[in-house]
Structure 1
Amino acid sequence: MTAPEPPARFTPVYILPPSSRKLVAEEVNRVREVERLPAKRILSSPSGKQIIDFGQNLAGYVNIKLAGTKGTKIRLTHSEVVGQDGELDTNYLVPLPWLLKPKAEYDEVLLSGELCWFHPWFTIHGFRYVEIDGLDYKLELDDMQAIALSSDLSPVGTFECSDSRLNHLYRNVFWSMRSNFTDTPTDCPTRERSGWTGDIQVFSATATKYVDSQAYLRRYLRNLALEQFPDGRVPPVIPSESSDFSGGISRFFSYVSNSTGWGDASVFIPWTLYRYYGDRIVLERQYESCRRWVDHLEHEARNNRGRSRWFARDLGDLENYIIDSGFHWGEWLRPGEGITSIFWSALIPKAVVATAYFAQSSYLLSEIATILGDEQNASRYAKLSEKVRTAWRAAFVQDDGCRIGEDKQDDYVRALAFNLITADQRQAALNRLVELIEQNDNHLGTGFLSTGMLTHVLAENGRPDIAITLLLQDTQPSWLSQIERGATTIWETWEGYDKHGKALASQNHYSLGAVTGWFQEGIAGLVPIAPGYRRFRVAPLVASGLTHATATIETSFGYAKAAWHVTDGVVKLEVIVPSGTSADIYLGNGCNEQVGSGTYHFEWKHQ
């Protein structure tokens, strides 16, 4: 660079024309260090490497004190799992390691010959364990720390109860959310680290009970609208990890952009932000995006007939409201399901799932249109939703609700949660759902899409006992079975490990942890009735096996609380109602109270 003439490889500078793209200010807080964790223990692998256990699965990096001969190469390999053979496992993240070569997360360090503290820049790893290779001396626990990284979102909610396992589960979900809320919501911090729409669709309401996620999810939706296809389809990951410069979205992602449950994030998440924050602005911003998605579903139902109903009874004009074409992920990862479900979804779309989401999104869109004063479209989408519900019942409901769809637990959960069935069919559907759970030895059988609704549906329809039974179940598949096996985050699959004890898939996915949203709303009983908690309900579930529970939430109006405990057969309830709000309080003795702001105490005899 000091020569009189520039190198031959250098070319003249060109001034580009002004860009048509508009720069916008960042809307969310930066990703930063949110916690520093000490090493818990140092393991020695059979191959002679040192493996550091931080005792917590997380997203971040390691800060480590290193010394040694100048030029020595040290490799730090990260993983969530140590195998039964005592070696770090880096093969568990891919379903077919013999076909898809696993890629380990590692940092390499060249020592300078001087004592130093090292940590990487501009990267993030998902790990609990770090394998150190290349050092010729034994590390001490004080020689390293794990630095947890996450978007700087303010905590707003708490939950605590008398069962330490549920408290552990609540913390595990928090750590999975923290690990995957790094600038944009992702599925896992290890494998693809992608912003899958289905994952955040099922989890967004739960997120509002942990952190102030309003601006964070607003920005996600803004990106979704920008990347939405002109015909209304929604890429399965946001950002779509492609651009005009990189050749555009891949053929695979384009093909799966039709999937319901995933693309419905375009409607469900704005509604969540309105319900929990009273955010009318996000409804205005996302309104056209919502409409494009629902209009796309309407077009698909009307113009394309897929394989799944080739041999089904023809419903006449109602066939125009059944979605049975294109690719749909379906319920996704029910217990025991694996990668083969992807191929079945591609071959035979699950019309019972897809059409249910068509009905619910068109209904929510009619509600959004009403709020925004668009009466014409409110009426149009309400009528569309009712047509879809009628078609869904005609196609998939038999014996007055005793049999629905493929007779899976999730078929009945959606039927009840989305009000797809008539009032006189609800009891039969509930009874069949309970029967399926009991036939499964009191275990759940749901996947990504409906697990977060399962306990809510049971409790709201008169079977809180079954909801609690599922929640406290500690054998697979269940939430507490993960706790029993030492999990510190939520697993991607219910199994987590195969029958030989080898880890399966990501160990840090928040989707199946959406149930903890029900801890506040079901167990403690604190539920918004009016948008943004301007009015809320307190209806505690004083359940068998629990002696106390407390939930708090910082609403836009202030601090709200519901706390109950049982002492000597008497239930004592404390409720805090913030200024400018009111609460409807339902006591276990059948009495109801309507109160304004203030602190209240109630007692009744436990039955």
Structure 2
Amino acid sequence: MTRVAGVRAELRADALGVADPAPRLSWRIDDAPAGAAQTAAEARMTRGGAAAVAGLGGDAQALVAWPFAPLASRERATVEVRALVAGEWTAWSEPLAVEGALYDEADWTEPLVVPSTAAAPETRGSHLLRAAFTLGTAPVSARLHLTAQGVMVASLNGEAVSDEHLAPGWTSYRHRVRSRVHDVTALLHAGENVLGAEVADGWFRGNIGFDGGLWDVYGPHVGLLAQLEVTDRAGRTRIVPLGEAWRTAPGPATAAGLYEGEAYDARLLPAGWASSGFDDSAWDRPELRPPASIEGRIEPAMNEPARPIETLAPRSVERRPDGRVRLDFGQNISGVLRIRVDAPRGHAVTLHHAEVLEDDALGTRPLRRATSVDTFISAGVPVTWTPRFTIHGFRYAELEGWPGELAADAVEAVVIHTDMERRGWFECSEPLLNRLHENTVWSMRDNFVDLPTDCPQRDERMGWTGDIQVFAPAAEFLYGADGVLASWLRDVAAEQGEDGWVPNFVPWVECGFPRSASAAWGDAAVVVPWVIHERRGDLGMLARQWPSMTAWVDHLALRVGPDDVVEGSMELGDWLDPVAPPEDPGAARTDRYLVASAYAARSARIVADTAALLGEEDARERYAGFADRVLEGTRRRWIDDLDGLADAPTGLALAIEFGLTRDDAQRRRAGDLLAAAVRAGGHRIPTGFVGTPIICDALASTGHLDDAYALLLQRELPSWLYPVTMGATTIWERWDSMLPDGSINPGDMTSFNHYALGAVVDFLHRQVAGLAPAAPGYRHVLIRPRPGGGLTWARARHVSPYGPIEVGWRLEGATMALDLELPAGVTGEVRLPDGTAATVGPGTHAYTSAITVEGATP
């Protein structure tokens, strides 16, 4: 029976404390008759005991506008959806509970609790905070609204409020501070209760950045803002006054830094401190500041929290000659160790972390100043301990000072990242490509720790704009990254300069890197919202980011010279071109101003297209005119003499994929030159940061599919598969982060966990498997497999806003068999290698096609 399922508010199944008081609704249609789709829908909302029904228009199922009055702060409601499919109404869906957050700054009345201020830039310890209070009766409902300056772990009556790690995460604190609301009803009882918290520096005042980093970037203190609201049986809600009840004492973490690690002395943890009956008369009174003293606006979190996702047992355990125990977890992760240890009082166990081994030792040089060492000092009783205020990037760990033999379950690695929904999968007949895809998935996971970062291990971990700009299509296929990216884009807009300048990483930290924005990096302000619209059908994202998008293109206009190209500005260009020496990663074969001009034209065109969608006709004409101007200048300077780009593969790829050529003949000529350059290089990667994500598409789209596959399947350095042959489990920053002899690249900038070069998996999804969006939100898809490279089968699956889309093909002699399944609400255009084309609707479909031995024709 046809039914409506998966109702969500702002794409979230958990709508407690929803960030938008008028959240958009999404749902899917399950078990519909073959070929059938929704033609109308209704929503029913119940709040305050009253129900209301509203129409939701016609066939839209994703991010449909909220049809009721906006939620008030704290307001609770349930929403159900039904749809008209094949002339019949479905039953109402399961209800989705939706609850408002605190939307008005005046809703916050409890104080910011500040335990201390720091006097010196050093790795500092944690602070305990407790507030005892009495409830006459157990509440029927209770909500705890939380945020902090620093990072925190909160509890009620000794029970954890949540499993979040490094809450409330990192934002541009001077502009915005995120809060979350927790349902704590089950943790409270009649009588005395205790709200407890441990707070440490985190990003707020800990050391962040590179080239020495900075301390106290956002302030010399840490603080907790906690507001507990309880509702009694009569329906009355009140805020529990905690201000004067707060007490503070030093915490058991004697030193805690994101880069440095956590030192924890269990002897310093007061027994029962977070429960009732504890005597805190000797504890200090913290400073209480009004919530208005927080510099940034407090706003509800729109992204999922970072939390423990899974645990890994060691693949191997080795007792070293120096007494240390080395553990190999078989996978490079972001996370921490969890140890179960029984040691004498005062005994210290030290945990060392590294991504790789070099000369049979932990390869810690690439970590730079991020020492990544945790220490646990025992109180003399068996305990399970996990660091709370740090995170590491590692595959290997060494235990120093482990007491006795290591039990099989004594140590595990805890994988931590933002709790995103998995949406995309790919698999084919080549195991090395499957490992490449899995490596990319892991690098995304490891670098989506609250915001999209460059790496999870060294003294950096910044929200580099260029990395996510090139990776956004892959990210949106693989995971539900919308919340992370939407939150981060708010910071991009907040950090923009008055002239539209976008920092090269966000949040921005003045740690010595040039302030001047760079093309392909700052363009994230335009490209990432556009990709989210393409992949999720999120027009609201474009509307929200419109001022930021236009400001960036207006900034680009300031950089365009009289020849109608970008020139004279600081540009990173085709960063990490394989020919670039370790000490100069920006020394690429392609002119950095060609890169900048190509991106200026592309971003201006995207903004013009966005203006058309938003009904901004004057803006559309203005930005389209600017795009045409820069495009013409770029053609005159570089494209009309394509022979001048013969040794600049990224330049040729940009000409093809960014539409810089004047006509089809010139485009084919660029493709021929690119193929010749790739062949001359032995099908080894000839591109850097900008060219690598698009080179396979550029080859395939100009009649050189075999060269694209040869490049994709190359195993020699530099190539995508070289790291796989070297045992990589994540994507490396450099093609040669590890040299063939097993030594680490001598450069100062060497990471084994950067997702950017893994952007090629989008080619695997769209071209190899043949699953590509052809309309926003995958409402219409292009099914066009491109077999080649000796592959005998491939398949992809993506959970679109309308439900799962599956495509799979296999070769049977000279025939390709194709199977696909489309959910209700999605149509597809099928193109087969033999030229057959068909338009299909929801349901299961199967095709066969003749195919040549060499591979599909372009």
- Asked if TM exceeds 0.5, the reply is yes
For residue 417 of structure 1, what is the aligned residue in structure 2? 657
- The Cα shift of 1:142 comes to 2.5
- The Cα shift of 1:12 comes to 8.6
Tell me if the contact between 1:257 and 1:263 (Cα under 8 Å) persists in the aligned partners.
Answer: no
- 1:329 and 2:572 correspond: yes
Q: Distance in 2 between the 1:539 and 1:63 partners?
A: 46
- 1:357 and 2:599 correspond: yes
- The Cα shift of 1:495 comes to 0.5
For residue 636 of structure 2, what is the aligned residue in structure 1? 394
1:16-42 per-position Cα deviation (integer Å, ceiling 9, x unaligned): 866685321000111111111111111
Tell me if the contact between 2:425 and 2:798 (Cα under 8 Å) persists in the aligned partners.
Answer: yes
Which is higher, the Rg of structure 1 or of structure 2? 2
Tell me if the contact between 2:370 and 2:457 (Cα under 8 Å) persists in the aligned partners.
Answer: no
Relative to structure 1, is the Cα distance of residues 130 and 378 closer, same or farther in structure 2, using a 3 angstrom cutoff?
Answer: same
Q: Distance in 2 between the 1:45 and 1:445 partners?
A: 41
Tell me if the contact between 1:74 and 1:108 (Cα under 8 Å) persists in the aligned partners.
Answer: yes
For residue 87 of structure 1, what is the aligned residue in structure 2? 361
Q: Distance in 2 between the 1:15 and 1:293 partners?
A: 36
Tell me if the contact between 2:576 and 2:585 (Cα under 8 Å) persists in the aligned partners.
Answer: no
For residue 522 of structure 2, what is the aligned residue in structure 1? 263
For residue 206 of structure 1, what is the aligned residue in structure 2? 474
- 1:285 and 2:527 correspond: no
1:216-238 per-position Cα deviation (integer Å, ceiling 9, x unaligned): 21111111101111111111111
- 1:382 and 2:382 correspond: no
Relative to structure 1, is the Cα distance of residues 342 and 480 closer, same or farther in structure 2, using a 3 angstrom cutoff?
Answer: closer
1:34-83 per-position Cα deviation (integer Å, ceiling 9, x unaligned): 11111111134453422111111000111112222211222101110111
The residue identity in structure 2 corresponding to 1:502 is: S
Describe the SS at the equivalent of 1:29.
Answer: coil
For residue 167 of structure 1, what is the aligned residue in structure 2? 434
- The Cα shift of 1:342 comes to 5.4
Q: Distance in 2 between the 1:11 and 1:49 partners?
A: 42
Q: Distance in 2 between the 1:272 and 1:199 partners?
A: 14
Which residue among 282, 297, 310 is the counterpart of 1:35?
Answer: 310
1:108-156 per-position Cα deviation (integer Å, ceiling 9, x unaligned): 1112222222211122111001111123533244221111011111111
Relative to structure 1, is the Cα distance of residues 545 and 13 closer, same or farther in structure 2, using a 3 angstrom cutoff?
Answer: closer
- 1:26 and 2:306 correspond: no
Describe the SS at the equivalent of 1:142.
Answer: coil
Match runs of 1:558-577 below 5 Å: 558-577=803-822
For residue 94 of structure 2, what is the aligned residue in structure 1? none
Which residue among 434, 441, 463 is the counterpart of 2:704?
Answer: 463
Relative to structure 1, is the Cα distance of residues 11 and 540 closer, same or farther in structure 2, using a 3 angstrom cutoff?
Answer: closer
For residue 122 of structure 1, what is the aligned residue in structure 2? 389
With structure 2 as the length reference, what TM-score do the two structures score? 0.63
Describe the SS at the equivalent of 1:513.
Answer: helix
Instruction: Tell me which moved more, 66-75 or 382-391.
Output: 66-75
Structure 1, unaligned stretches of length 5 or more? 95-101, 242-248, 303-316
Q: Distance in 2 between the 1:129 and 1:439 partners?
A: 39
Q: Distance in 2 between the 1:412 and 1:300 partners?
A: 23
Which residue among 117, 142, 151 is the counterpart of 2:409?
Answer: 142
Tell me if the contact between 2:577 and 2:587 (Cα under 8 Å) persists in the aligned partners.
Answer: no
For residue 227 of structure 1, what is the aligned residue in structure 2? 495
For residue 59 of structure 1, what is the aligned residue in structure 2? 334
Q: Distance in 2 between the 1:12 and 1:19 partners?
A: 14
Tell me if the contact between 2:769 and 2:796 (Cα under 8 Å) persists in the aligned partners.
Answer: yes
Tell me if the contact between 1:552 and 1:560 (Cα under 8 Å) persists in the aligned partners.
Answer: yes
Describe the SS at the equivalent of 1:449.
Answer: coil
1:498-526 per-position Cα deviation (integer Å, ceiling 9, x unaligned): 46532231111100001011111011111
Tell me if the contact between 1:74 and 1:134 (Cα under 8 Å) persists in the aligned partners.
Answer: yes
For residue 463 of structure 2, what is the aligned residue in structure 1? 195
With structure 1 as the length reference, what TM-score do the two structures score? 0.89
For residue 309 of structure 1, what is the aligned residue in structure 2? none
Structure with greater helix share of residues: 1
Q: Distance in 1 between the 2:291 and 2:384 partners?
A: 43
Structure 2, unaligned stretches of length 5 or more? 1-246, 249-280, 853-858
For residue 788 of structure 2, what is the aligned residue in structure 1? 543
Which residue among 768, 787, 798 is the counterpart of 1:523?
Answer: 768
Q: Distance in 2 between the 1:513 and 1:20 partners?
A: 38
Tell me if the contact between 2:576 and 2:586 (Cα under 8 Å) persists in the aligned partners.
Answer: no
Q: Distance in 2 between the 1:17 and 1:195 partners?
A: 28
Describe the SS at the equivalent of 2:330.
Answer: strand
Structure with greater strand share of residues: 2
For residue 846 of structure 2, what is the aligned residue in structure 1? 601
- 1:579 and 2:824 correspond: yes
The residue identity in structure 1 corresponding to 2:434 is: N
Q: Which has the higher contact order (CA 8 A, sep 6+)?
A: 1
Tell me if the contact between 1:169 and 1:483 (Cα under 8 Å) persists in the aligned partners.
Answer: yes
Tell me if the contact between 1:458 and 1:464 (Cα under 8 Å) persists in the aligned partners.
Answer: yes
Relative to structure 1, is the Cα distance of residues 47 and 511 closer, same or farther in structure 2, using a 3 angstrom cutoff?
Answer: same
1:379-427 per-position Cα deviation (integer Å, ceiling 9, x unaligned): 111111111111112112354x2332x8321111111110112113111
The residue identity in structure 2 corresponding to 1:440 is: G
Describe the SS at the equivalent of 2:335.
Answer: strand
Relative to structure 1, is the Cα distance of residues 83 and 583 closer, same or farther in structure 2, using a 3 angstrom cutoff?
Answer: same
For residue 186 of structure 2, what is the aligned residue in structure 1? none
Q: Distance in 2 between the 1:17 and 1:590 partners?
A: 65
- The Cα shift of 1:13 comes to 6.7
The residue identity in structure 1 corresponding to 2:796 is: A
CA RMSD of aligned residues (A): 2.3
The residue identity in structure 2 corresponding to 1:543 is: G
Tell me if the contact between 1:560 and 1:575 (Cα under 8 Å) persists in the aligned partners.
Answer: yes
Which residue among 37, 47, 57 is the counterpart of 2:322?
Answer: 47
- 1:473 and 2:714 correspond: yes
Describe the SS at the equivalent of 2:409.
Answer: helix
For residue 156 of structure 1, what is the aligned residue in structure 2? 423
- The Cα shift of 1:215 comes to 2.2
Tell me if the contact between 1:442 and 1:469 (Cα under 8 Å) persists in the aligned partners.
Answer: yes
Relative to structure 1, is the Cα distance of residues 87 and 296 closer, same or farther in structure 2, using a 3 angstrom cutoff?
Answer: same
For residue 735 of structure 2, what is the aligned residue in structure 1? 494
Instruction: Tell me which moved more, 260-269 or 579-588.
Output: 579-588
